[in-house]
Each structure stands twice: as C-alpha cells, then as structure tokens.
Amino acid sequence: MTGWLPRSPRARRRLTLLAVIAPILALAAGLTLWGLRDSISYFYTPAQADAAQPPAGRSVQLGGLVVDGSVLYHSDGRVEFSIRDNLAADRIHYRGDLPDLFREGQGIVATGAFRADGVFEARQVLAKHDETYMPKQVADSLKAQGEWRGEGAPRTAP
Amino acid sequence: MIVEFGAFAMILALVLSVAQVGLSAVGRLRRSALLAGAGEGAALAGFGVLTLSFAALIYAFVISDFSVANVAANSHSEKPALYRVSAAWGSHEGSMLLWNIALTGFGAVLAWRGRALPRDLKASALAVQGLIGTVFLAYTALASNPFVRLADPPVEGRSLNPLLQDPALAVHPPFLYAGYVGMSVVFSLAVAALIEGRIDAAWARWVRPWALAAWSFLTVGIALGSYWAYYELGWGGWWFWDPVENASFMPWLVGAALLHSAVVTEKRGALPGWTVFLAIAAFSFSMLGAFLVRSGVLTSVHAFAVDPTRGVLLLAILLVFSGSAFALFAWRAPSLTPGGVFAPISRESALVTNNILLSAATLTVLLGTLFPLIREAVTGEAISVGPPYFNLTFTPLMALLCVVVPFGPLLAWKRGDLSPAVRALLPALVLGVATGLAALWLLTPRKAFASLGLALAVWLIVGALTEAAQRIRLFKAPLAESFRRLRGLPRGAWGATLAHAGLGIFVLGACFETAWKMEAAQTLAPGQSLRLGAWELVLKDVRRLDGPNYEAVTARITALRDGREVCALSPSRRFYPAGGQTTSEVAICSVDVSHLYVVLGERREGPGGKPVWLVRGYWNPLAVLIFAGPAVMALGGLISLTDRRLRLAPGRRREAQT
C-alpha cells in the first residue's frame, strides 16, 4: 500500500520529519520575505524625505527636532507641530499620546504617512528615550545641547 | 573603605573563578575527587565573595556615596530607599555585576546540589561554567567596573531615569537575569556532555530542571517588564516588538523548545543532538541579548547605551563561546546515537512539530530584530521593522502552534492514535468554535482574526483541562477514584497542564485587549467629563501633591458606568527636578479582569484662561489575563520543578505519600 516509502524505519522517520519541517519552514520564509518587503518603514529626516519623496499613504518614520513655537494644541486632543533637521522642516498632525518627554527642541520620531498635501499624519510619536532609531544628526545635536542621554549620559571620566 | 572592599571581593571572585576552571579541569583529567571537590569549593566561595561585593555596591548606593562614579551617575540622595537599592542594578556596570552573581550563583548551585550527576560530567560542567564566569567577571572588572571612584566627587548624583523608579522594574532585572543566565548551566552541561561524549536520557533528565527554572524565571522577568511598559509608558500598550524586548523573548522561545525536546530525549532517548543544539542556542541567545542591549547598536527605552568598545567585547565573548560550542557540536554530533524510532502520529511527532514551529518563530524574530542593522550596514538606509512585520510572520506560526499544543499530551509515545485524541478534544473544539463564532457575531467592531484568536485560546485552555481530566478519568470512573488519581498525579503533569492553560489565558487576554480596546481623549476643566464607550470619566479636581524626589499634580477622576460610580482614579504627572524630566503616572482601575486606564496629560489654557487638562482614557478588556497567563505558565514551570526534586530523592517521596 505504501510501497514507495523507504523500508527502513529510520529513513521513514526522516522522511516524516522532512514532510513536517519543509512546509513550516517554507511558510516562515515566505512570510518573512513578504513581511520584510511590505512591512518595513523607512526612516527619514525632513531633508531626506524631501529628496526621497515617499508616496502619500506609505508608512514611514520621520525624525527631527520639534521647532520652537510650532506646537498647536486642539481641545479634542489633536496636536500640530513642526519638526526640522538642519535643512528642512515638516508639519505633523497627530491625534494620540505625546510622550512625556515631548517638548520644543526635543528630538522625536513620528511614525505615519505623508498626505497628498505634504502634511505628515502621525500614528505614533516617540521622544528621545522611547525611540528606536535616531538620525545621527538629531542624536548629535541633542548631545551637543546636553540633553539627557539615559544610561549613556556622558560620564565624568572614571 | 567598604567600596574598596567590594572591588577587592569582585577581583577575588574572578581569581576564584579561574581556580574553579583549573581545579575542575585538572580534577576531571586526573579523575581526582579531591581536586574536583576543590573546584566545587571554589565555585561556592566565588559566589559567596561576589555576593559580598554586590552588597558593598548596594551599600554605596544606600548611603549615596557620590565619590563612586556609578552612584553619582545613577543615584540621588532624595530618592526613596527602594530605588536607591534598585539603582545598584539600574546601570550597565551594576547590572553586569548582577549578571555575574546569577552566573556564579547557578554555578554554586550546580556544585552544591548536583550530587546526582556523574563525577566526570559534573567536573567538566563546572569547568565550563567557571570559564564563562571568568570571562564575564574579567569583562566587568576591566571594562565595566562599578566601583570606580571619582577624583572630585559631585555634591549630588544625577539620579536614575524616573521611568525606571518603579517597583516592577526594581525586581524585573533580577528575574530576567536569573532566566538569561540560568541558561548558562544548560549550556555548560551541554558542552560538558559533548566533551564526555555521553548524551542520553539520563543527561536530558539532569538538564531539564535547569532549563525549567531558567525558563520560569525568564517568563516572570519578561512579564514584569511588559507590565511595567504597560502602566509606566502610558500608551496602554504592553508589547512593542522593540529590539530589546525581542532580545529577551528569543531565549524564552528557544528555552520553551528546549523544555519540550528534553522531554523527548529523557523519555524516549530520541533527538539527543537537537536537544544539545537547543541547549547551546538558548544561552547563545542570552548572550546575543546582552550584546544587543549593551552595545549601543540598538537604542530603546530599556537599552544601556554604552560605548561601542564594550559592545565589541561582548560580541567577541558571544562569538567565542557560541562558536566553540557549536564547533564542538558539529564535531561530536555525528557520533551521537540516534534514539528511538517513532511513528508520524505520536507524542514525539507532536513535540517535534512544537519545536519546529518555535524555532521558525525564533528565526523570524531574530531576522526582524537584526534586519535593520544588516540593512543599514549594507545600504546605509535607516529602516525600522515594527509590529506589522511581527504580526505577519510570528503570529501565524504561533497560531499553528496553538492548534497543535493540546494534541501533544494526549498522544501516546512512539505510536499514537489520532482518533481517541480527537474524540477527547471534541468538547474543546466545540467550545472553541462556539467562542469564535460568538465573538464574530456579538462583538463590535467585527474582527475575524481576533475571533479566531479567541477560539484558539479557548481550545488551548479546555484542551489543557481535557488532558488533566483524562488523567484522572473524570466522569469515567467514580468521583472518589478520580479524586484519588488527582492526588496521585505527578507534579510534572500538573506543570504541563498549567503552562498550556496559561498560554491559553494569555492568548485570550492578548487577542481581546488588542482587538477590542477603546480609547478617548479630551481636554477637561474640573467638573467636565469624557465619554468612553459605556463609561463616563468625570474630572473632579487637580491638586498639587509632591513626593520625596518629585513635584506632582494629581487629578481626581470618578468613573461612572451607566450613571453608577464604579471607581475613583488618581492619575498624576510628576516632575523630577534632579533629571529635569516629566513622567505621567497612569491610574488603573480593575473591573473584573478588565482595566480602565486613565492618563493625565499636560495642562493647557482653556477658554477664558482657565486651566484645562488633557485626559486620556482607555478601556482595556481582559487586560489582566495578559499578565496572569505568563504567571500561570511560570507557576506551571515551578510546580514541574518540585516534581523533579521529589523524584531525585525517592526516600522523601515515600514519606510524603504516607
């Protein structure tokens, strides 16, 4: 009935294992490739975003310093503000939690997408201590300003 | 003086660690019980001395001795006592000392309790454990010394990041490290077994309690960290797929795979090579975690940003230890005797499937965590791999795993029969499908994947209980007989049931909370209210309420459901002058197993110049289960652990039964 199967029980076991492993690995590999193509978000500073022109609606991360005097609070919890790097600035609209360390001059990273009119609609805003990826320029200027650096705060030399 | 004593004790522990390697190795080579015994003594003494060293560091923090660089950078004299103590492991240097305490501690327990181990294996394992200890102690003493003094001490310290001044986070690192580093014993036993050339059922039996203990600690550690993120960061989220979270999650996944494959090796002698591979991989992932968190290649709220040289050293340690262990494995693996044969439908197969799914899931997490690093190194583009990637790759694999889990314990070893298992699981299947359909039908908004998740959760919980019910022949034998069987049930079986049910409880909470949570935000003047589904949050007033090392405003908010007052909440915002930081303290009201979660936002100018406050409310249904699930899983692990001890000491077991 199962004449095409190998005789040896060990070989059969190996074949069974392979039959289980192969589809699962194929599934994992497929999902991973798909995920890495579609679910990653690029990181830009305002100047880099100008250069790269990400299509409207595409999820990206935008990082920079909150421009002094640009923050506008609405009574329903919506916030508008601008962030900048050394060369350019972008306007951000956000409805959600601002991190505790959000303030003017602070380095932040917003996740969201550009609208067709060029305004960045943020889904999430992370401040310095919450961020995962920080543009070097922003991080460096933060250090120059003596902003808090958590555990990595410049130590008085040992 | 005490600080110098601490530094001296740390160096002494390093020397004792070297002695442990030498004595154990020579004791093994010459088969000398005396030398091997001396090696065990060195392991015990090393742990004792390092504990004193750590006590000295804690002392420096408690008395706020700012002439110690580490204290000056991470403590403040006005900080409450608990956080002055926990600041001792809040920094990179102090936490390395804690890591070493766990490392030598596990070595000491191995020396002290490992009487059941054959002498040769034990001596080899202690030599390997000592070698790991030597390298990490040397790294701490030379590159991350927490006892370094400052030439001119500051008057006041820079304080610990206020976000980290929290009870859950004070105990989170000790648990996490006990878990991370507990895997080192598993690693040492694996390498020792490869050196000795014996990997069999008995070896798996010695390894399993260590893996179980480490995995249980890690479960508690991760859950505490997640709970901290949940109530301290104030976003209402509990898992962010942050690289540092992933770093702790990968050893957990591998540890879970190891627990299951070790059972197969122990009971059936099968898969010895795979079990050894996982044992090496588990601690390798722990070391990878240490590298990712401490090297500064990734920054996140949990990361210690330290200078890259220290990171390179940690990377070197990781590569040398894992590299040599895997090389040894590659060299020895062909000589391993393949164990018992098993049919495609058998408990072995179910456990193998579990292992493949867990390993594949680990790989997807690993890839997602490292991909930004690789991509940036290759193309220079900064990208981030966030929750969408992990939801797409990790979740389907785990969903498949949830389908398989209840079958495992119901199938016989070697050659199982699927139809009785399916029949036994029929109630679980029916209840699961019913739950899924009910969720699809009743809950708004309608969410298909989350409903499927709820169905799987019920399938897991009822499936786990089915297995226990079958063991005690519930409803199939007289109740008295069932009760007698219940009492006689081995603790290991209880452990598995609890762990699987705990997974189900977690899935239930996680799916429900993620899919059906509600949030609302509005600026409120005192007396105004905010609607959140059936809830009405009334802001009564906002008052100034200062703490020991912070200034705070606290709001009093009454939560009404259908017009009836259910709870009073006091969220607050704190300002820590020492670091110039503001944090918000979330107020949580538990309603059954759900959470009403309220955050006080910043103060703004309202109409007429009167102050208003931004109030954010979340309704997190079944949120308690997200943290209760892992607690039940860890409890299952610990109960299993007590089973091992009873079995290793048969005399006491007989006593316990009479």
Verify whether the Cβ–Cβ distance B400 to A40 is below 8 Å: no
Q: What are phi and psi of B235, to 5 degrees?
A: -100, -5
For residue B559, give the DSSP letter: E
Verify whether the Cβ–Cβ distance A16 to B69 is below 8 Å: no
User: How close A54 gets to chain B, by Cα (Å)?
Assistant: 13
> Looking at residue B583, what is its pLDDT?
82
Q: How confident is the model at residue B577 (pLDDT cuts 50, 70, 90)?
A: confident
Verify whether the Cβ–Cβ distance A100 to B148 is below 8 Å: no
Contacts of A19 in chain B (CB under 8 A): 344
C-alpha distance from residue B593 to each of B333, B371, B589 (Å): 49, 37, 10
> Looking at residue B169, what is its pLDDT?
80
d(CA B447, CA B442): 10
List, as ranges, residues 6-45 from A with C-beta within 8 Å of B: 9-10, 13, 16-17, 19-21, 24-25, 27-28, 31-32, 34-36, 38-43
pLDDT-above-70 percentage for chain A: 76
d(CA B306, CA B144): 10
> Over 90: is that where the pLDDT of B628 sits?
yes
**Minimal Cβ distance to A156: which of B69, B382, B384:** B69
- Give the pLDDT mean for B422-427: 93
User: How close B387 gets to chain A, by Cα (Å)?
Assistant: 8
> Over 80: is that where the pLDDT of B96 sits?
yes
d(CA B362, CA B367): 9
Cβ neighbours of A30 (radius 10 Å): 11
Lowest mean pLDDT among B178-182, B397-401, B523-527: B523-527
**Minimal Cβ distance to A42: which of B381, B579, B614:** B381
The answer to whether residue A134 neighbours chain B at the CB level (below 8 Å) is yes
Verify whether the Cβ–Cβ distance B383 to A149 is below 8 Å: no
d(CA B232, CA B229): 5
The tens digit of pLDDT for each residue in B117-128 reads 899 999 999 999
User: How close A116 gets to chain B, by Cα (Å)?
Assistant: 22
Verify whether the Cβ–Cβ distance B356 to A20 is below 8 Å: yes
Instruction: Write a three-state SS string for B210-276.
Output: HHHHHHHHHHHHHHHHHHHHHHHCCCCCCCCCCHHHHHHHHHHHHHHHHHHHHHHHHHHCCCHHHHH
User: How close B508 gets to chain A, by Cα (Å)?
Assistant: 24
CA-nearest residue to B572 within chain A is A100
> Over 60: is that where the pLDDT of A128 sits?
no
d(CA B658, CA B655): 6
> Looking at residue A105, what is its pLDDT?
78
Beta strand pairing call for A120-127 and A89-95? parallel
The tens digit of pLDDT for each residue in B472-516 reads 877 777 888 888 887 778 888 889 999 999 999 999 999 999 999
Q: What are phi and psi of B540, to 5 degrees?
A: -85, -55
> Looking at residue B324, what is its pLDDT?
96
Please state the length of chain A: 158
d(CA B544, CA B556): 11
> Over 70: is that where the pLDDT of A133 sits?
no
The tens digit of pLDDT for each residue in B149-171 reads 998 888 888 777 777 788 888 89
Lowest mean pLDDT among A143-157, B71-85, B296-310, B547-561: A143-157
Top-confidence residue, B108 or A107: B108
* Contact yes or no for B286/B183 (Cβ under 8 A): yes
User: How close A77 gets to chain B, by Cα (Å)?
Assistant: 5
CA angle B69, B73, B78 (to 5 degrees): 115
Contacts of B352 in chain A (CB under 8 A): 17, 20
> Looking at residue A130, what is its pLDDT?
35
Rg (CA), chain B: 27
Verify whether the Cβ–Cβ distance A28 to B233 is below 8 Å: no
Contacts of A98 in chain B (CB under 8 A): 601-602
The answer to whether residue A147 neighbours chain B at the CB level (below 8 Å) is no
Verify whether the Cβ–Cβ distance B392 to A34 is below 8 Å: yes
Contacts of B91 in chain A (CB under 8 A): 151
Scanning the structure block, which residue is given the tokens 């802001």? B539
Residue A59 burial (10 A CB sphere; 0-12, 13-18, 19+): middle
Please confirm whether the linkage preceding B445 is cis (ω < 30° from 0).
Answer: yes
Q: What are phi and psi of A58, to 5 degrees?
A: -80, 130
> Looking at residue A109, what is its pLDDT?
82
pTM of the predicted structure, to 2 decimals: 0.90
Contacts of B355 in chain A (CB under 8 A): none
Contacts of B300 in chain A (CB under 8 A): 130-132
Average pLDDT of the residues of chain B:
89
User: How close B21 gets to chain A, by Cα (Å)?
Assistant: 31
